[in-house]
């Protein structure tokens, strides 16, 4: 499998506080195409910070992040925006859907930014909403959808740009058991059938049990990196 992400001697230190906080402390990791990986650990261990660094939403204090062999750590804001637009899909805990747009329009939005033709946008949005079981909700705005349905729209939106990988930050945190099971099944099928790479930060054992690889962080350091289910 091809390396999608390489992280070398990565540090992130927040200096805004009276005492500097080392959120990420010398991490070295690789992620390959088709991985379904959970990043776990206690609150404050650096999970979300690591995803934000990989996704170009934050900049490291030291170290290198390679996406497809290209070092992104010195990218300008505009280059990072382009990187996210064309290469990375995001699924957030809070869904982050645009409330005035329908489900279909939310999925289409990133393709509009990519300047894709209208017909292509519409076909892709319908294909993805069907894949996540929402073919009958395409014209409904987020406020009329359940939490689980909103998160499925968010997954469809993340896939719309055909990214190299998906970063999902606590995607099941606000969902009930049934919605979580449905969402995980959808993401697992997309991973297995289409070889889409997923990297999660999570506290949720249900997510961990589905992961092919489990990375545990503590105080910004990788303390274990295991294949298969984490026995807890």
Which segments of 55-176 does DSSP mark as H helices, in order? Answer: 77-87, 103-113, 118-131, 147-160
- Say if residue 230's pLDDT is above 60: no
| Residues facing residue 216 across a β-bridge | 40, 224
* Contacts of 18 by beta carbon, 8 Å cutoff, 6+ apart: none
pLDDT at res. 231: 40
pTM for this one?
A: 0.90
pLDDT digits (tens, 9 = 90+) for 154-204: 999 999 988 989 999 998 888 888 888 988 998 898 898 888 899 999 999
Backbone CA torsion sign across 166, 167, 169, 170: positive
| Helix or strand holding residue 224 (H, E) | strand 221-227
CA distances from 191 to 62, 153, 159 (A): 32, 17, 11
pLDDT at res. 157: 93
- Say if residue 228's pLDDT is above 70: no
Question: What fold characterizes domain 3-227?
Answer: Rossmann fold (3.40.50)
Radius of gyration of the chain (CA): 17
Q: 104 falls in which pLDDT band (50, 70, 90)?
A: very high
Domain regions of the chain by residue span: 3-227
- Say if residue 89's pLDDT is above 80: yes
């Amino acid at each position: 499998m091809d390396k999608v992400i390489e992280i070398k001697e990565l540090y992130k230190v927040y200096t805004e506080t009276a005492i500097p906080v080392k959120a990420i402390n010398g991490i070295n990791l690789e992620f390959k195409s088709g991985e379904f990986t959970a990043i776990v650990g206690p609150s404050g261990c650096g999970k979300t910070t690591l995803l934000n660094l990989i996704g170009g939403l934050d900049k490291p204090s030291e170290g290198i992040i390679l996406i497809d062999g290209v070092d992104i750590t010195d990218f300008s804001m505009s280059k990072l925006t382009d990187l996210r637009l064309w290469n990375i899909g995001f699924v957030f805990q809070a869904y982050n859907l645009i409330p005035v747009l329908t489900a279909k329009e939310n999925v289409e939005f990133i393709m509009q930014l990519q300047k894709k033709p209208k017909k292509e946008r519409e076909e892709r949005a319908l294909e993805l909403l069907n894949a996540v079981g929402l073919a009958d909700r395409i014209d409904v705005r987020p406020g009329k959808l359940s939490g689980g349905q909103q998160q499925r729209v968010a997954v469809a939106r993340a896939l719309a740009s055909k990214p190299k990988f998906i970063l999902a930050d606590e995607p099941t945190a606000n969902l009930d058991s049934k919605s979580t099971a449905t969402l995980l099944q959808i993401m697992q099928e997309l991973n297995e059938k289409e070889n889409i790479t997923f990297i999660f930060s999570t506290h949720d054992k249900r997510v961990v049990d589905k992961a092919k690889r489990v990375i545990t962080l503590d105080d910004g350091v990788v303390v274990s990196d295991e294949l298969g289910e984490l026995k807890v």
